[in-house]
């Protein structure tokens, strides 16, 4: 199984809503990532979890709250988002949580988020 799955595929939420994005992989990977991608822009790294611990937070606003319940799952909790947070949210995983120089990342299909 070389797949990273993400749910939901699409999400529309109001600025007062609380929602969560989910990501799952069963490749035994020890690092997992959240990226944000605006239209016609490259993905921007948000968070990195290494061995289920948050290792990188790229100065992301607190209205985005990541969680790694176990080595296969990664959540992104959303609260009080702004319309400018509308984007494609991508999850990825890689084998080595220690950041091996030959580590490649496997991406899920993304969640298309619209904030009204």
Partner 1 sequence: SQQGEEDPQALSIQEGENATMNCSYKTSINNLQWYRQNSGRGLVHLILIRSNEREKHSGRLRVTLDTSKKSSSLLITASRAADTASYFCAPSTGANNLFFGTGTRLTVIP
Q: Which residues bind partner 1 (CB under 8 A)?
A: 4, 31, 33, 41-45, 48, 50, 55-56, 88, 90, 92, 94, 97-110, 112
> Can you tell me the distance from the alpha carbon of 51 to that of 35, in angstroms, rounded to the nearest whole number?
18
Q: CA 105, 12, 76, 82 torsion: positive or negative?
A: positive
- In whole angstroms, the minimum distance from the beta carbon of 98 to partner 1 comes to 8
Q: How far is the CB of 48 from partner 1 (least distance, A)?
A: 5
**Which residue's CB is nearer to partner 1, number 66 or number 97?**
97
- The greatest distance separating any two alpha carbons of the chain, rounded to the nearest whole angstrom, comes to 42
Answer whether 75's CB lies under 8 Å from 29's CB: no
Q: Which is nearer to partner 1, 45 or 73 (CB)?
A: 45
Q: Is 84 helix (H, G, I), strand (E, B) or coil?
A: helix
Q: Closest distance between partner 1 and the C-beta of residue 31, in Å?
A: 6
């Amino acid at each position: 199984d070389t797949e990273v799955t993400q749910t939901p595929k699409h999400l529309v939420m109001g600025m007062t809503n609380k929602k969560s994005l989910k990501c799952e992989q069963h490749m035994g990977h020890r690092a997992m990532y959240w990226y944000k991608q605006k239209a016609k822009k490259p993905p921007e790294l948000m968070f990195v979890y290494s061995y289920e611990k948050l290792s990188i937070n790229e100065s992301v606003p607190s209205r985005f709250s990541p969680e790694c319940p176990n080595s296969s799952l990664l959540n992104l909790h959303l609260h009080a988002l702004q319309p400018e947070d509308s984007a494609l949210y991508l999850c990825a995983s890689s084998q080595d949580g220690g950041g091996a120089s030959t580590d490649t990342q496997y991406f899920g299909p993304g969640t298309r988020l619209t904030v009204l």
